[in-house]
Chains A and B, each alone.
Chain A
Amino acid sequence: NAGVTQTPKFQVLKTGQSMTLQCAQDMNHEYMSWYRQDPGMGLRLIHYSVGAGITDQGEVPNGYNVSRSTTEDFPLRLLSAAPSQTSVYFCASSAGPGFGQETQYFGPGTRLLVL
C-alpha cells in the first residue's frame, strides 16, 4: 500500500493564482482531512470529509474548497492564492470515528509559497 500520497511536493504561486493540491489514499479510509502547519502553531484543520460526497469546514476554511467524489481522493483547491496561505499542507486519512480508528495517517506534505 502506498498509504496517503500528495502532489505536488513543492509549489510556488503568485498572489491571485489558483491551484489544486491532490491527495489520495489506498487504505479504504472513510475519513479524510486537510491540515496546514505554520511555525509556532499546531496543525490546523482546513476541511474534512466523513465519506464520499460529504465534506465540512474545519477551523480555517476561508480561501479553500474541497470535494470528495470518491473514497480515495480528496483534492484541496486554493481559489485565489494569498501570501497568508504560504504554509505546509498535510492531507490525512483515518478509518472512522470509533476508538482506535482515529489514528491519522498523513501524506508527505506539500510546501506552498505564495509570492
Chain B
Amino acid sequence: RKEVEQDPGPFNVPEGATVAFNCTYSNSASQSFFWYRQDCRKEPKLLMSVYSSGNEDGRFTAQLNRASQYISLLIRDSKLSDSATYLCVVNIARAGGGNKLTFGTGTQLKVEL
C-alpha cells in the first residue's frame, strides 16, 4: 500500500460546482497534513495546512479523519482558475529532528464553462 494515495482524476466539473477529493495515508503516526496546488509546469504551492480536525479558507475546506486515516479537500463554487493538480502531503516527525514529508501523486481538477 502506498504511504499516501490519491485518485489521479481528472475531475471535470462545471464552473460553480462543488468538488471533493480524498487522500488516504498509511502511517498512523502522521502528525500534520497539507494540500498543495500545482499548476501545469509550475512548482507546488501551499494551499492549506491541517493540524487538527480541519481547516477552512474561503471556498476551500480540508477535513481530517484520523480514525479512518484520510484527509479531504472540498472546493465550493469552483472557478476556472481552480483548474490545477492538488497534492496531498503527509508529515511525520523524524527521530533525529526535522520532518519527513510524503507527497501523493496528485488529483487533477479541470473546471469547465
Interface residues of A (CB under 8 A from B): 31, 35, 40-45, 48, 50, 90, 94, 97, 99-100, 102-104, 106-109
**Contact A102 B103, beta carbon cutoff 8 Å:** no
**Contact B45 A106, beta carbon cutoff 8 Å:** yes
Contacts of B87 in A (CB 8 A): 42-43
Interface residues of B (CB under 8 A from A): 4, 8, 31-32, 34, 36, 42-46, 49, 51, 87, 91, 93-94, 97-99, 101-106
Contacts of A35 in B (CB 8 A): 103
Which of A90, A102, A107, A108 is B99 in contact with, Cβ under 8 Å?
A: A102
Please name the residue on chain B nearest to A42 by beta carbon: B103
Other A-B pairs beyond A97-B93, A109-B42, 13, CB < 8 Å? A31-B99, A43-B87, A102-B91, A103-B34, A103-B49, A104-B36, A104-B44, A104-B46, A104-B101, A106-B44, A107-B43, A108-B42, A108-B43
Q: Nearest Cβ distance between residue A13 and chain B, in whole angstroms?
A: 20
Q: Nearest Cβ distance between residue B87 and chain A, in whole angstroms?
A: 7
Contacts of A102 in B (CB 8 A): 32, 34, 91, 99, 101
Please name the residue on chain B nearest to A44 by beta carbon: B103
Contacts of B103 in A (CB 8 A): 35, 42-44
